Chains A and B, each alone.
Chain A
Amino acid sequence: MAVPGVFMRVSQPTPPYFLPPKFNSGGRRQFCVKACAGTSDGEEGKMVIRKEKDGWKIDFSGEKPHTPLLDTINYPLHMKNLSTKDLEQLAAELRAEIVYAVAKTGGHLSSSLGVVELTVALHHVFNTPDDKIIWDVGHQTYGHKILTGRRSRMHTMRKTSGLAGFPKRDESIYDAFGAGHSSTSISAGLGMAVARDLLGKKNNVVSVIGDGAMTAGQAYEAMNNAGFLDTNLIVVLNDNKQVSLPTATLDGPATPVGALSSALSKLQASPKFRQLREAAKSITKQIGPQAHEVAAKVDEYARGMISASGSTLFEELGLYYIGPVDGHNIDDLVAIFEKVKAMPAPGPVLIHIVTEKGKGYPPAEAAADRMHGVVKFDPPTGKQIKTKSPTLSYTQYFAESLIKEAEADSRIVAIHAAMGGGTGLNYFQKRHPERCFDVGIAEQHAVTFAAGLACEGLKPFCTIYSSFLQRGYDQVVHDVDLQKLPVRFAMDRAGLVGADGPTHCGAFDVAYMACLPNMVVMAPSDEAELMHMVATAALIDDRPSCFRFPRGNGIGAVLPPNNKGTPLEIGKGRILMEGSRVAILGYGAIVQQCLGAAEMLKSHSISATVADARFCKPLDTDLVRRLAKEHEILITVEEGSIGGFGSHVCHFLTLNGILDGQLKLRSMVLPDRYIDHGAPEDQLEAAGLSSRHICGTVLSLMGRPMEALKLQ
Chain B
Amino acid sequence: MLYISRKLIHGIAMSALNRSRPGRARIQAFYAPVETRETLYQVLGITETGSSYSEIKKAYKEMARKYHPDVSPPERVDEYTRRFILVHEAYETLSNPEKRASYDRDLAAGSGFGCSAGRKSRQYHQGMEEKREWKYRWEVQVDELKRRRENFNSNSNSNSRDRGRVSWGARMRNQTS
Binding site for B on A (CB under 8 A): 26-28, 53-54, 197-198, 200, 228-232, 270, 273-274, 277, 280-281, 284, 287-292, 295-296, 298-300, 303, 320-326, 329, 332, 336, 339-340, 343-347, 349
Least CB separation from A316: chain B residue? B161
- Point out the residues of chain A lying under 8 angstroms from B134, CB to CB: 270, 323-326
Residue of B nearest to A298 (CB): B27
B104 at the interface (CB under 8 A from A): no
Pair B25/A291 contact, Cβ less than 8 Å: yes
In the complex, what residue of chain B is closest to A284 when comparing beta carbons? B27
Contact call A27/B146, Cβ cutoff below 8 A: no
Whether B137 and A295, one on each chain, are in contact in the complex, defined by CB atoms closer than 8 angstroms, is no
For A320, list chain B residues within 8 Å (CB): 141, 145, 148
Residues of A within 8 A of B169 (CB): 197, 229-232, 345, 347
Pairs A–B under 8 Å by Cβ, sample size 30: A27-B9, A53-B106, A197-B176, A229-B169, A232-B173, A270-B133, A274-B136, A277-B27, A280-B27, A281-B27, A281-B29, A287-B25, A288-B25, A289-B23, A290-B25, A296-B147, A298-B27, A299-B144, A303-B141, A320-B145, A321-B141, A322-B145, A323-B134, A336-B138, A340-B142, A344-B177, A345-B153, A345-B170, A346-B146, A347-B169
Complex contact A273–B133 (CB within 8 A): yes
Give the chain A neighbours of B153 by CB distance below 8 A: 344-345
- The answer to whether A299 touches B167 (Cβ under 8 A) is no
Residue B58 CB within 8 A of the other chain: no
Contacts of B32 in A (CB 8 A): 274
Instruction: Please tell me which one of the listed residues B10, B111, B138, B167 contacts residue A323 in the complex, with CB atoms under 8 A apart.
Output: B138
**Bound: A332/B133 CA distance, A:** 13
Q: Is B53 part of the binding interface, using a Cβ–Cβ cutoff of 8 Å?
A: no
Asked if A343 contacts B145 (CB within 8 A), the reply is yes
- Is the beta-carbon distance between B149 and A345 smaller than 8 angstroms? yes
Given the complex of chains A and B, what is the CA–CA distance between A295 and B6 in angstroms?
34
**In the complex, A346→B177 CA distance in Å?**
15
CB of B57 to closest CB in A, whole Å:
22
Q: Find the A residue at minimum CB distance from B151.
A: A296
- A228-B167 in contact (CB<8A): yes
Query: Of B27, B130, B141, B152, which contacts A322 at CB under 8 A?
Result: B141
Q: B158 → chain A, closest Cβ, in Å?
A: 12
Give Cα distance in the complex from A270 to B132, angstroms. 10
CB < 8 Å: which of B137, B142, B168 contacts A230?
A: B168
With an 8 A cutoff between CB atoms, is B65 at the interface? Answer: no
Q: What residue in chain B is nearest A340 (Cβ atoms)?
A: B142
Q: Is the CB of A295 within 8 A of B26?
A: yes
Known: A296-B147, A340-B145. 12 other contacts (CB 8 A): A53-B106, A53-B111, A53-B112, A300-B144, A324-B137, A326-B135, A339-B146, A343-B146, A344-B149, A345-B152, A346-B145, A346-B149
Does the CB pair B27–A299 fall under 8 Å?
Answer: yes
Assuming the contacts A53-B106, A54-B124, A296-B26, asked whether A332 and B135 have C-beta atoms less than 8 A apart, the reply is yes
The reply to whether B106 and A299 form a contact with Cβ atoms under 8 Å apart is no
Instruction: Judge if B66 is at the interface, Cβ distance under 8 Å.
Output: no
B129: shortest Cβ distance to chain A, in Å? 9
Q: In the bound complex, how far is the Cα of B137 from the Cα of A280, in angstroms?
A: 14
B residues lining the A interface (CB < 8 Å) = 6, 9-10, 23-27, 29, 32, 106, 111-112, 124, 130-131, 133-138, 140-142, 144-149, 152-153, 167-170, 172-173, 176-177
A332 to B146 CA separation, bound complex (whole angstroms) = 17
A451 to B173 alpha-carbon distance, docked (Å): 47
Which chain A residue shows the least CB distance to B169? Answer: A230
- In Å, the complex CA distance between A296 and B146 comes to 12
Q: How far is the CA of A347 from the CA of B158 in the complex (A)?
A: 14
B154 to chain A, nearest CB (A): 11
Chain B residues with CB under 8 A of A336? 138, 142
Q: When chains A and B are docked, how far (Å) is the Cα of A290 from the Cα of B140?
A: 20
Query: B23, A231: Cβ atoms under 8 Å?
Result: no
A432 to chain B, nearest CB (A): 38
Distance of A336 Cα from B106 Cα, bound (Å):
31
| CA A320 to CA B146, docked complex, whole Å | 11
Query: What is the chain A residue whose CB lies nearest that of B136?
Result: A274
Q: Which of A291, A339, A349 has the most CB of B within 10 A?
A: A339
- B residues less than 8 Å from A198 (CB atoms): 172
CB distance from B135 to the nearest CB of A (A): 6
What distance in Å separates the Cβ of B59 from its nearest Cβ neighbour in chain A? 25
Complex alpha-carbon distance, A326 and B26, angstroms: 25
Point out the residues of chain A lying under 8 angstroms from B24, CB to CB.
289, 292
Among B133, B140, B149, B167, contact of A229 (Cβ-Cβ < 8 Å): B167
Residues of B within 8 A of A290 (CB): 23, 25
Cα-based distance from A288 to B131 in the complex (angstroms): 31
Contacts of A284 in B (CB 8 A): 25, 27
B170 proximity list for chain A (CB < 8 A):
230, 345
Choice from A287, A288, A339 contacting B142 with Cβ under 8 Å: A339
Which chain A residue shows the least CB distance to B142? A339
Query: Whole-angstrom distance between the alpha carbons of A299 and B143 in the complex?
Result: 11
Residues of A within 8 A of B168 (CB): 228-231
Chain A residues, CB < 8 A from B6: 26-28
In the bound complex, what is the Cα–Cα distance between A229 and B169 (angstroms)?
A: 5
Q: Which residues of chain A are near B137, meaning CB under 8 Å?
A: 270, 273, 324
- Which residues of the partner chain A approach B147 to less than 8 Å between Cβ atoms? 296
* Bound Cα distance from A28 to B9, whole angstroms: 11
Question: Does the CB pair B136–A322 fall under 8 Å?
Answer: no
Please determine whether A322 and B142 come into contact, CB atoms closer than 8 angstroms: yes
Contacts of B29 in A (CB 8 A): 281
Q: How far is the CA of A231 from the CA of B137 in the complex (A)?
A: 25
| A660-B72 Cα distance, complex, nearest whole Å | 101
Measured in the bound complex, the distance between the Cα atoms of B170 and A323 in whole Å is 25
Chain A contacts for B152, CB-based, 8 A: 345, 347
What are the residues of chain B within 8 A of A273 when measuring CB–CB?
133, 136-137
Question: How far is it, in angstroms, between the C-alpha of A323 and the C-alpha of B134 when the chains are bound?
Answer: 7
Distance of B31 from chain A, by nearest CB (Å): 11
Contact partner, A329, options B112, B124, B131, Cβ 8 Å: B131
The residue from B9, B25, B131 contacting A295, defined by CB atoms under 8 A apart? B25
Q: A230 — which chain B residues lie within 8 A by C-beta?
A: 167-170
A347 to B135 Cα, complex, angstroms: 22
A105-B133 Cα distance, complex, nearest whole Å: 41
Complex CA distance for A323 and B141, rounded to whole angstroms: 8
- Of B27, B111, B130, B147, chain A has the most CB atoms within 10 Å of the CB of B27
With CB as the reference atom, state the residue of chain A lying closest to B112.
A53
Q: Report whether A292 and B149 are in contact in the complex, using a CB–CB cutoff of 8 Å.
A: no
Q: Which residues of B contact A281 (CB under 8 A)?
A: 27, 29
Complex contacts, B27 vs chain A, CB 8 Å: 277, 280-281, 284, 295, 298-299
* A289-B25, A345-B173 known; A303-B145 Cβ under 8 A: no
A229 to chain B, nearest CB (A): 5
Q: Which residues of A contact B172 (CB under 8 A)?
A: 197-198, 231
Residue of A nearest to B129 (CB): A270
Interface centre among A27, A228, A273, A349 (most CB of B within 10 A): A27
The CA of A329 and the CA of B136, in the complex, are separated in Å by: 14
The docked-state distance in angstroms from the alpha carbon of A273 to that of B141 is: 12
